[in-house]
Amino acid sequence: MEQALKNFFLFLSKNKSFNKLAKKYGLRLGGSHFVGGETIEQAVQTIKDLNSKGLSVTVDYLGEFVDTEKVAVERTDHSIKTIEAINREKLDAQYSLKMTSMGMDISDEVIMRNMRRILEAGKKNNVFVTIDMEDSGRCQKTLDIFKELKAEYDNVGTVVQTYLYRTEADIDDLNKFSPNLRIVKGAYKEPVEVAFPDKKDVDESFKKIVKKHMLNGNFTAIATHDEAMIEYTKQIAKEYKIPKDQYEFQMLYGIRSERHVELLKEGYNMRVYLPFGTDWWGYNMRRLAERPANVAFVLKGVFKK
């Protein structure tokens, strides 16, 4: 049943008609539980609220799969405005983005021009930028672009997904760049040819990747709500005397919010992934696919309106 629900929500995440409706009617369709507002101004206020609790943030202007250069440039401009707002408002925040939103599927020229504009803005405003990982078909290109940009900029990191068979080899390949990596399990529907189908195998891969990257001496963002993975990370850090400034935990806005604060009180660095914008449908559906129990949160939000 749970797998059927997961597949259902992943199917919905790519439904253009529902995405269009979600943009039309805004967050009142249930998006507000996982999304920190529709505008930069609303996101800034949400970040300030999180910062006041001692929580760091990485903010993401929602959007993906852009197919025109005009829209890609608009998304790039909006990203730069968000980065400038982080600096102007003195927020404890980084910036995350999906390169399909900046034109990766259009051409190499478009994506590289837009990414350099964003990273230049990040450099100027002292804001770190993380390139999110998308589906497996775009994994190699994402890593190739990351490596090219990492040779030019210090303020860029990326993401690896432990449900992919290839990830351990990617960690070895990326190590020479001393990368800042966010480690996640993965949230896309992938064929068994490229990804572990069973949770226990994904978990074991997650542990292996976290340990390897931390022992390589690179900064590691452990992005999970799974308590077993959190405890494993703590054990590895303690056993190998890994300093707390070399890693942090990351969790999604709106999920296990009380645990965010608990980890902070335990003395760990904690960062909240905060998306905002009107293009929230696909993001929310993937959150529901990851944990169908989240449906209750969304329904509660809808019927409150």
What lies within 8 Å, CB to CB, of 218 at 6+ separation is 175, 178, 179, 180, 181, 246
Distance CA 132, CA 58 (A): 11
Residue 180's nearest CA partner among 222, 126, 137, 243 is 222
**Hunting for tokens 């609303």 — which residue is that?**
42
Element (H, E) at 271: strand 270-276
Q: Looking at residue 69, what is its pLDDT? A: 97
Half-sphere exposure of 72 (CA within 13 A, CB side): 23
**Single pTM value for the model:** 0.86
Class of domain 35-279 (CATH, top level): alpha beta
The H-or-E segment that residue 250 falls in is strand 247-252
Q: Cβ(136)–Cβ(164) under 8 Å? A: yes
Closest listed residue to residue 275, CA positions, set 249, 252, 304, 241: 252
- Looking at residue 305, its pLDDT comes to 36
CA 29 to chain CA mean position, Å: 22
Write the CA distances from 86 to 45, 59, 96, 262, integer angstroms: 11, 9, 12, 25
First-residue to last-residue Cα distance in the chain: 29
Predicted local distance difference test score (pLDDT) of residue 19: 52
Residue 144's alpha-carbon distances to 17, 96, 170, in angstroms, are 33, 18, 11
Residues recognised as catalytic: 132, 182
44 close to 89: Cβ distance less than 8 angstroms: yes
Write the CB contacts of 212 (distance below 8 Å, at least 6 apart in sequence): 168, 171
Q: Which residues of 210-248 are buried (b: 16+ CB within 10 A; e: fewer)?
A: bbbbbeeebbbbbbbbeeebbebbbebbeeeebeeeebb
pLDDT at 299 (0 to 100): 41
Evaluate whether 282 touches 35 at the Cβ level (below 8 Å): no
**Residue 169 confidence (pLDDT):** 98
pLDDT at residue 283 in the model:
63
E-assigned strands of 33-148? Answer: 56-61, 93-97, 129-131
Give bridge partners of residue 182 from the DSSP assignment. Answer: 159, 221
> pLDDT per position in the chain (305 positions), as tens?
556 655 555 554 455 544 554 454 444 445 557 888 889 999 999 999 999 999 999 999 987 778 899 999 999 999 999 999 999 999 999 999 999 999 999 999 999 999 999 999 999 999 999 999 999 999 999 999 999 999 999 999 999 999 999 999 999 999 999 999 999 999 788 999 999 999 999 999 999 999 999 999 999 999 999 999 999 999 999 999 999 999 999 999 988 899 999 999 999 999 999 999 877 666 666 666 665 555 544 444 333 43
C-alpha to C-alpha distance for 109 and 102, rounded to whole angstroms = 11
